[in-house]
Amino acid sequence: MQIEVFREEAVRWLKTTAVPRADIAGDAPLVWGAGSDSVAVFENTTEEEERLQAERISDWQSTKFDAGYGAIAWPTELGGRGLTPAHEAAFRAEEAKFETPGFNELFGVTIGLVAPTIGIFGTPEQQQRFIPSLLRTDLLACQLFSEPGAGSDLASLSCRAERDGDGWRITGQKVWTSGARVAHYGEAICRTDPSAPKHHGMTAFLVPLDAPGVEVRPIRQMTGGSTFNEVFLEDVLVPDDLRLGAPGDGWKVALTTLGFERGLSSAGGGGLGGSFRRLHALSRQLDRTTEPVTRQQLAKLYIGERLLSMLGQRARAAMEAGGPPGPEGSVGKLLWTQNMSRTSDLASTLLGPRLGADTGEWGTFAWAEHLLGAPGYRIAGGSDEIQRNIIGERVLGLPREPRPAAP
């Protein structure tokens, strides 16, 4: 289907299903004071609010899915529309002009990371059982990778899975698990063969989070909310049909999921937090657009956003040509977090002490949530330093950094 024909059809559907946003009118500058002024990177919500928010996002995702707009680039056999990532991008651009419940990290992980990983490593039965439900977000899945002793060096993880009859018994601790309070499953990487070299002795599982022995403890973040958690697993029994990939293939599964994660970030993280458009509107409102420093910061941010958008187009073109997510995703992830830092810096330049206390003025103190949340993404999904290592070694072909000698 021609993209423009698809776009027109999608706009007709959106107009009958959602309300156009009040704060934008075509490509004109943002309308000051209209709509929500939230630029939060992480929501400051209670558990109940987090659940209600997840329900709202899930309702919108299932409405889209049922109408053929929820899994545009997925094959029809798995509930998708069988179109291309470019069709998907066209829909997203149009959807952004309407009021919707937005998106959060758990939905990005469910749709953008876990579902496509099952698409690669899942058995045909697992694909039919999970993918349509994950894409429709009837099921939500989080990422059980990091541990207290394994972050950047994920292959050091020690959460164990041991054979137990026909299934597996999992014991260990995961940490920083986004959305675990609300998720139904977690994609867990566990050590199944401690005697094998560390990258070989791992296996991936889809762990039901309501299984006996799973305990989720929220971690309070500096933004006030608890979007991520510790997850304790104590003798959790998991049937073998929830193993993802062959025993010992856990590292391959993890790298695939992390590749999708970088791809998602290089697409701009689903538009989390503030943007050039909002800061431009703020600088106009404060009558600061003639200041040279403000102009320079605005220009840098605009260029950064354009570059990220072009990089996203290039990644989509590579995917359409059948390529897997490559190390180029690291460039996008880095550019995205740099844009977030530039956004926070310019908000600070413009607002100064107004970020310290809430006067109730629309579009001002709200930026404090951006400042406190943005640094998190310089760590999540592989820190800036790790992305630079990947770019140096796998994109530029520079010598590898020294690895500790094997014991």
Ligand X SMILES: Cc1cc2nc3c(=O)[nH]c(=O)nc-3n(C[C@H](O)[C@H](O)[C@H](O)COP(=O)(O)OP(=O)(O)OC[C@H]3O[C@@H](n4cnc5c(N)ncnc54)[C@H](O)[C@@H]3O)c2cc1C
Residues that bind ligand X (CB under 6 A): 142-143, 145-146, 151-152, 176-178, 228, 376, 379-380, 382-383, 385-386, 389
* Least gap, CB of 301 to ligand X (angstroms): 22
Give the pair of three-digit tokens for residue 252.
């391959």
Amino acid letter at 316?
R
With contact defined as beta carbons under 8 Å apart, do 264 and 198 qualify? no
For residues 138 and 313, give the distance between their C-alpha atoms in angstroms, rounded to a whole number: 30
In degrees, rounded to 5, the angle at the alpha carbon of residue 179 between the alpha carbons of residues 176 and 181 is 100
Give the pair of three-digit tokens for residue 358.
């809430």
Nearer to ligand X, 240 or 385 (CB): 385
> Which residue's structure tokens are 């002490």?
353
Q: Around Cβ 166, how many Cβ atoms within 10 Å?
A: 8
Amino acid letter at 74?
W
- Distances from the Cα of 357 to the Cαs of 35, 155, 352, 365, 374, in angstroms? 21, 43, 11, 7, 19
Query: Among 222, 74, 24, 53, which residue's Cα sits nearest to residue 140?
Result: 53
Residues with Cβ within 8 Å of 361's Cβ and at least 6 positions away in sequence, in order, are 354
* Least gap, CB of 227 to ligand X (angstroms): 7
Nearer to ligand X, 43 or 305 (CB): 43
* Least gap, CB of 102 to ligand X (angstroms): 17
Nearer to ligand X, 82 or 327 (CB): 327
* Least gap, CB of 144 to ligand X (angstroms): 6
Distance, first Cα to last Cα, the chain? 57
* Least gap, CB of 8 to ligand X (angstroms): 38
8 is catalytic: no
- Distances from the Cα of 57 to the Cαs of 45, 70, 112, 248, 260, in angstroms? 15, 12, 15, 36, 21
Nearer to ligand X, 142 or 298 (CB): 142
Query: Among 49, 61, 80, 50, which residue's Cα sits nearest to residue 17?
Result: 61
Shortest Cβ contact with ligand X: which residue? Answer: 151
Paired residues of 244 in beta bridges: 204
* Least gap, CB of 57 to ligand X (angstroms): 17
Nearer to ligand X, 37 or 187 (CB): 187
H or E stretch covering 37:
none
The three-class DSSP label of residue 301 is helix
For residues 213 and 215, give the distance between their C-alpha atoms in angstroms, rounded to a whole number: 6
Give the pair of three-digit tokens for residue 397.
């072909």
Nearer to ligand X, 176 or 185 (CB): 176
Nearer to ligand X, 70 or 381 (CB): 381
Q: Nearest 5°: phi and psi at 171?
A: -140, 130
**Could you say which of 50, 88, 94, 261 is catalytic?**
261
* Least gap, CB of 384 to ligand X (angstroms): 6
Known catalytic residues are 261
